[in-house]
Each structure stands twice: as structure tokens, then as C-alpha cells.
Amino acid sequence: MTKEKAQARREHLARMRAEQKRKERRAALLMWGIGGLVIVVLIALVTVYVVKDRSARSLSAVKTFNYKGSDHSWQKVAYKETPPVGGQHNFYWQNCGIYDKPIHNEHAVHSLEHGAVWITYRPELPKAEVDKLKTLASADYMLLSPFPNLPYKIVVSSWNRQLALDSADDPRLPEFIKKYKQNPTTTPEYGASCSGGIGTTDEQPLPPEPSASADPMATATPSS
């Protein structure tokens, strides 16, 4: 092989190696570019999901009231809100639990004063929705009952706090329960019992005021 041919061969190989390196660099840059783009897209999607999730769980629509506690009465009370969210109430509180019939507002409000969360729903709400509400209301310090002529499908209330909902699947419902059930800041009688009261529905009349001449031990009533 002549020197010219050898030199030409070396130059040709050098050009081939240089071209191969350029291709490898371009491939690497393309790979990094695509990877970076994928990461940017993933971050954007996660950010959108987090923002939407926080928005869906936001309790900004909760209405706030300013009722004081410890205001008892044996009489039926005309409440401004439907369902009531605070104010004057019966000496007996409603035992927390699940009720398939409406309960007296006056007893339920007393339970709210003790830190309970009361879920009310329209009587015609589909059974599948009611079953979901029953699952949520199976915990302690929870009340669940139908409420005739309710202005919304579902309303969840605690003392001085209330939120209207269209579905039992609304993610704000468990958030409301988590925040306001037995909340030491918003509960007038934090730690008071939600049992040992009364377990009747509105088919029974409100309990009458005890007679002054009655045996005080026989007529002792919860009033906390």
C-alpha cells in the first residue's frame, strides 16, 4: 500500500469516527431533551392534580355562624337555619348514631354543642348515597338522619359550621368531619358525652318540663 493510500484510509477512518461521535452526541442531546420534556410534563400534571385535589377538598364554602352555647329550653325552638346549626336547644341531647327517621332539632343541636357532626339528607336520596353516608356516620360523635324539605340533597353541620353538598362522594364531606368533629376551638362543650341522652325520633314528642314536685332523682335530666 502506498503512503498516499494509507493516508487516505486514515483520513477516511477519522472522518467516520468523527461522524459517529456527532451522531452519538445528537442522540444523547435528543434523549436528554425528551427526558427533560417528559419530566416537565409530569411535574405540570402533578401540579395540576394537586391544585385540583386541594380545590375539591377546600372548605371555603363552609358557612359560619355565631351562636353561644348553654342555652337550654323545654319548648320547641324556631330555628333560622335549615337544618339548625346552633342556638337554644333541649336539655336532652340526641344520642349519636344513625337514624332512619327524622329527629328533633332541639336534641340534635344539643349534640352539636357536645362536638358532634350531624349529616342530614333528603328522604328521597337514593339508597346507594344513603349507604355511603351511613359508612361515614358509623364513627363516634356522628349523627345521621333524614330531614324533610331539606334545601339541598345533603347538609353537614357542626356547631356554628355548615356545608351544603350534592353528593355523598363529595371529598369535602370527610374533610369537614375531620376538621370540625370534636374540634376543641369550635365546640362549646368539648369532651361532653354524645351518649346517655335520648334516642327517640320526632315521632315522639319533646320531653315535658319536669314537675317541681317530682322526685328530683327520677326527673334528673342531662343538661351539659
Say how far apart CA 150 and CA 125 lie, in whole Å: 11
Residue 219 — very low, low, confident or very high, per pLDDT cuts 50/70/90? very low
Do 187 and 118 form a contact (C-beta atoms < 8 A)?
no
Residue 15 — very low, low, confident or very high, per pLDDT cuts 50/70/90? confident
| For range 187-195, the mean pLDDT | 96
How do residues 74-91 score in pLDDT, each as one tens digit?
A: 999 999 999 999 999 999
Q: Structure pTM?
A: 0.74
∠ CA(177), CA(164), CA(145), 5° rounding? 65
State the cell numbers at 94.
340526641
| For range 147-176, the mean pLDDT | 98
∠ CA(54), CA(190), CA(184), 5° rounding? 35
How do residues 31-67 score in pLDDT, each as one tens digit?
A: 777 777 777 667 666 655 555 555 557 999 999 999 9
20-24, 68-72, 87-91, 129-133: lowest mean pLDDT where?
20-24
Report whether pLDDT(95) > 50.
Answer: yes
- In total, the chain counts a number of residues equal to 224
Task: List Cα–Cα distances, 41 to 12, 32, 34, 45, in angstroms.
Answer: 43, 14, 10, 6
